[in-house]
Structure 1
Amino acid sequence: MNEPRTEIRAIVRRKWVSVQVAQITHFTAGDKYVTAHFPGGEILLSGKESLNKLEAEFGDAFLRTHRSVLVARRMLGSLRRAPGSHTADLKIIGVDGIYPVSYSRYPTVRKALAERRTA
């Protein structure tokens, strides 16, 4: 298998923009496109990119928390689950807002947070 890329490239305002994968905090999917988020900005990726492809390529560094969210493991913040709820919310370090964690992915996210705290 090929080595994962070290940068993500996209065309923004008719110019190629590169972002180091190490700077990316998370990816979100919506309306057939994926957005890479990083401190100070975001870029819309090519329609050829999907969260499934990104997860397969960067699976060691990123964790799928929801069908539409892939988070850098180093950026996992805090996890909150309301009593009786089937979903949880994740705070990403250094990012405003909260992101959903699906019921099926909750145990994996919780375990990754615990491993991060003990590392």
Structure 2
Amino acid sequence: MEISDMMVSDLAQLGTLVDAVHDLWFDVDALKGSFSEGVVTIPLYGRPNALSRKQLPIATLVIKHVDSLVVEDTEHVGYYDIDQIRFDPVGKTLTIIGCIPVVVRLHVAKLNVELHANREENSIRA
């Protein structure tokens, strides 16, 4: 899987981002600790066992202009794969929904999400 860098600042671009990160995995506990100075950083992995083996992420989502972060984690399994990402422009809420039930809600001043590919990990996987 080859991942390309991208920046999403318009709702019309969100589908491309979802296509790129669908079925990638993240550690919900690490996510909770990644909120600093209006930025949430989410390392993404190709498989959940990559998280437990401390492998490099294949990409990183960087969400900017974040005012608050709420995680609804009913399953408490730790690692989740991304199914959907939605943005409500009226409520200014970016929502990440996992295939395994988890919901991450980020209230943002504006939509600004960056995807950064880890070139080293992508070249190893190729």
Q: Same fold (TM over 0.5)?
A: no
For the pair shown, which has the larger CA radius of gyration, 1 or 2? 1
- With the length of structure 1 as denominator, give the TM-score of the two structures: 0.31
